[in-house]
């Protein structure tokens, strides 16, 4: 099977279509499949949504024995197994969520050789009896998912992954494949070294996700901004990331009161509530998850249409991985970051409290890169790819806020001088809110009591709203023109940079968003957005049928069919099993299991509307 003869190629393509319902491999998939079938070790960096599971599931079926898939994502394993079984793959999982009797059953299946693949957690390798089971089993290959977890240079190092360095000695002669969606060259070299991969086939796929758009907006206080954004995604699935548990709870509650189907997710919730909320999201019973970064690695939901970072992410790797949870089905999706310079001190507070000097240094460097990404007026896609040592080949990606020209720069030196003058004239004794009230000519009794309504700067800032002045203050703090005192009621005071601005020796510029919405990037050919009105109507009916079948079987809806498959069914509207097999994502097992009911619905729809 490792050769490239026409018969071998035809056989591999036939297996791909029969099992997964795909007529051709996605980018890079065939090369990895062939390397594993040839018995080679592999290292592959593939972006989220790049189809890495197919790269090992297809060889797992074709090779004799059982493929071992090591994953830290215990909460995801059942969904991964459900998805594999839906395609007729004999799969199971083994982790601490199973009771001892069920664990014993899976171990017996592994020893008997009846499984194509089994998912396990990395800590299993610390158990002597499990290592003995592996020695007595026929293992076809070992797959290390989320392989960056083994590297201390990665963004998600997990000490239990270091135990995987013994796999090559434990199972000599068995190919080992390491997969990750995020690895710089340095992390890649560290992974290959720690796992002891033997002359591996190495593939670094492009980190580019063409169907995702990237946008950074100035973060406004209050909930109106978030609500305004969410109204654009009515009824669609999305994730909102917040830094703290409190902000997660507050945001989820406020969104619920506004009528949004939103649930919280963070480590402070009980295991049962976290699982319940995650399941509701995966099963399309809630639209929005508001979460800390504790959420995401445990989901495999293909139709997430937006990811919003309402707080600053901790690193570019984290941002890439978290935004990568959108658009896994290839359809267009939007990634929006809300950024304010006022967020930086909050992150710095946590970094400064780190005891390990090296860890603190790495965190500061990561923060600096995130701030640069958010504040620079350079193509977002280009900056992301350059972080992962990849050069973007075009000058304009046409799907980020910078390339779409959504920002404009304007001179606000005069406004900065107004603000700085207000600080000086009030003897640097007051905070931001009070100074803004002076500039806006507020009737605040406190202003009258101090006689500040008689200042030359009183009311001269009425040409702008509070939001503008608060942003200008944040920008001047960030550029070290003004400082904030410590304490419960911080006051503002001038620094050397502010004095130079007051004297007219330095200009101040700010960016603002033009009043138009960012256009989503084009998805691949076809897809939901290209459907006619009639096709979209059918698509919604197919979604309801999919949800009904998924609920009956206790699996997520996209285990039945992905949105992309439903869109193609809505477009082609097949009338026979043979025509249905031509739809991407429908293999023989899914046709036998679901085809009849979907064909009946399509026939009823055509009789009613056509």
What is d(CA 503, CA 256) in angstroms, rounded to the nearest whole number?
50
Distances (CA, A) of 81 to 78, 403, 515: 5, 41, 46
pLDDT of residue 294: 62
Q: Which of 72-76, 211-215, 347-351, 531-535 has the highest mean pLDDT?
A: 211-215
- Arithmetic mean of pLDDT over the chain: 87
Q: Which of 583, 609, 556 is nearest to 283 (CA)?
A: 556
Residues 17-30: pLDDT tens digits?
999 999 889 889 99
31, 54 contact by CB (below 8 A): no
Where is pLDDT greater, at 520 or 576?
A: 576
Against a cut of 0.85, is the pTM above it? no
The mean per-residue pLDDT over the stretch 300-308 comes to: 89
Tokens of 371: 């701030």
pLDDT of residue 3: 46
Strand segments, DSSP code E, in 467-522 are: 482-484, 492-494, 509-513
pLDDT of residue 67: 95
Residues 492-505: pLDDT tens digits?
999 999 999 999 99
pLDDT of residue 580: 93
Mutual angle of helices 29-37 and 52-62, in 10-degree steps = 30
Dihedral sign for Cα atoms in the order 548, 552, 554, 559: negative
Residues 261-296: pLDDT tens digits?
999 999 889 988 988 998 899 899 999 999 987 665
What CATH number does the domain located at 410-513 have? 1.10.10.10
- Name 461's Cβ contacts closer than 8 Å, sequence gap at least 6: 415, 418, 419, 436, 439, 440, 441, 469
179, 198 contact by CB (below 8 A): no
Yes or no: domain 6-204 corresponds to CATH 3.40.50.300: yes
Please say if the pLDDT value at position 182 is more than 80: no
Please say if the pLDDT value at position 37 is more than 90: yes
200 pLDDT band, cuts 50/70/90, is very high
When the candidates are 3.30.70.100, 1.10.3720.10, 1.10.150.80, 3.40.50.2300, the CATH number that belongs to 528-609 is: 1.10.150.80
- Name 7's Cβ contacts closer than 8 Å, sequence gap at least 6: none
What CATH number does the domain located at 212-400 have? 3.40.50.300
Q: By mean pLDDT, which of 200-204, 349-353, 540-544 is the weakest?
A: 349-353
Q: Which of 45-54, 76-85, 319-328 has the highest mean pLDDT?
A: 319-328
Please say if the pLDDT value at position 6 is more than 80: no
Q: HEC profile for 241-280?
A: ECCCHHHHHHHHHHHHHCCCCEEEECCCCCHHHHHHHHHH
Considering the chain, tell me which residue range(s) the CATH 1.10.150.80 domain(s) occupy.
Answer: 528-609
pLDDT of residue 524: 47
Q: By mean pLDDT, which of 31-35, 199-203, 525-529 is the weakest?
A: 525-529
Please say if the pLDDT value at position 51 is more than 90: no
Please say if the pLDDT value at position 513 is more than 70: no
Tokens of 447: 């202003």
Q: Give the Cβ contact number of residue 235 at 10 Å.
A: 8
76 pLDDT band, cuts 50/70/90, is confident
Residues 364-393: pLDDT tens digits?
888 889 988 988 778 999 999 998 888 998
Residues 535-585: pLDDT tens digits?
888 999 999 999 999 999 988 898 899 988 999 999 999 999 999 999 999
8 pLDDT band, cuts 50/70/90, is low
Q: Give the Cβ contact number of residue 563 at 10 Å.
A: 24
Considering the chain, tell me which residue range(s) the CATH 1.10.10.10 domain(s) occupy.
Answer: 410-513
Please say if the pLDDT value at position 599 is more than 70: yes
pLDDT of residue 96: 84
519, 232 contact by CB (below 8 A): no
22, 584 contact by CB (below 8 A): yes
- Name 590's Cβ contacts closer than 8 Å, sequence gap at least 6: 21, 86, 87, 560, 561
What is d(CA 438, CA 460) in angstroms, rounded to the nearest whole number?
9
Residue 604: exposure state from Cβ atoms within 10 A (0-12, 13-18, ≥19): exposed
Residues 146-158: pLDDT tens digits?
888 888 776 677 8
């Amino acid at each position: 099977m490792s050769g490239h003869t026409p018969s071998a190629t035809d056989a591999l393509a036939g297996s791909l279509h029969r099992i997964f319902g795909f007529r051709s491999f996605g980018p890079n998939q065939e090369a990895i499949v062939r390397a594993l079938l040839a018995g080679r070790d592999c290292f592959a960096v593939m972006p989220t949504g790049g189809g890495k599971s197919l790269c090992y599931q297809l060889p797992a079926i074709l090779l004799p024995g059982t493929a071992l898939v090591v994953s830290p994502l215990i909460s995801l394993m059942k969904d991964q197994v459900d998805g594999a079984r839906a395609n007729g793959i004999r799969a199971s999982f083994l982790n601490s969520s199973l009771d001892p009797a069920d664990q014993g059953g899976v171990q017996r299946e592994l020893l008997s050789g009846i499984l194509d693949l089994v998912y396990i957690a990395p800590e299993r390798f610390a158990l002597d009896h499990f290592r003995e089971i592996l020695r007595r089993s026929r293992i076809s290959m070992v797959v290390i998912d989320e392989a960056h977890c083994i590297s201390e240079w990665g963004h998600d190092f997990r000490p239990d992954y270091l135990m995987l360095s013994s796999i090559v000695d434990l199972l000599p002669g068995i190919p080992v494949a390491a997969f990750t969606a995020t690895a710089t060259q340095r992390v890649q070299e560290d992974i290959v070294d720690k796992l002891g991969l033997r002359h591996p086939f190495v593939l670094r796929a492009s980190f580019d996700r063409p169907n995702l758009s990237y946008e950074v907006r100035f973060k406004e206080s209050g909930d109106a901004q978030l609500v305004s954004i969410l109204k654009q995604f009515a009824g669609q699935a999305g994730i909102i990331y917040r830094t703290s548990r409190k902000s997660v709870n507050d945001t989820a509650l406020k969104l619920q009161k506004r009528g949004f189907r939103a649930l919280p997710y963070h480590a402070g919730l009980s295991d049962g509530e976290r699982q319940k909320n995650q399941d509701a999201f995966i099963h399309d019973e809630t639209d929005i998850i508001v979460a800390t970064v504790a959420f995401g690695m445990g989901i495999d939901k293909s139709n997430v249409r937006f990811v919003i970072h309402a707080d600053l992410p901790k690193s570019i790797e984290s941002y890439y991985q978290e935004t990568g949870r959108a658009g896994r089905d290839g359809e267009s999706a939007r990634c929006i970051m809300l950024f304010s310079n006022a967020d930086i001190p909050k992150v710095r507070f946590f970094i400064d409290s780190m005891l390990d000097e090296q860890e603190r240094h790495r965190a500061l460097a990561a923060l600096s890169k995130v701030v640069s990404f958010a504040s620079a007026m350079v193509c977002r896609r280009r900056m992301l790819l350059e972080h992962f040592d990849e050069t973007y080949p075009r000058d304009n990606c046409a799907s980020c806020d910078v390339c779409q020209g959504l920002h404009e720069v304007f001179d606000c030196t005069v406004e900065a001088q107004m603000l700085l003058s207000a600080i000086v004239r009030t003897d640097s004794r007051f905070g931001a809110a009070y100074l803004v009230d002076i500039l806006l000519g507020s009737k605040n009794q406190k202003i009258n009591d101090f006689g500040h309504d008689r200042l030359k700067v009183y009311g001269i800032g009425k040409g702008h709203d509070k939001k503008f002045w608060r942003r200008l203050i944040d920008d001047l703090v960030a550029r070290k023109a003004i400082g904030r005192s410590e304490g419960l009621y911080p006051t503002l005071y001038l620094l050397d940079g502010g004095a130079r601005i007051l004297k007219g020796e330095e200009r101040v510029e700010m960016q603002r968003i033009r009043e138009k919405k960012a256009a989503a990037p084009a998805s691949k050919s076809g897809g939901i957005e290209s459907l006619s009105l009639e096709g979209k109507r059918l698509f919604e009916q197919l979604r309801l049928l999919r949800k009904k079948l998924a609920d009956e079987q206790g699996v997520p809806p996209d285990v039945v069919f992905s949105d992309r498959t439903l869109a193609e069914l809505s477009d082609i509207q097949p009338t026979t099993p043979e025509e249905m097999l031509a739809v991407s994502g429908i293999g023989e097992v899914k046709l036998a299991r679901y085809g009849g009911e979907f064909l009946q619905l399509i026939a009823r729809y055509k009789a009613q509307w056509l």
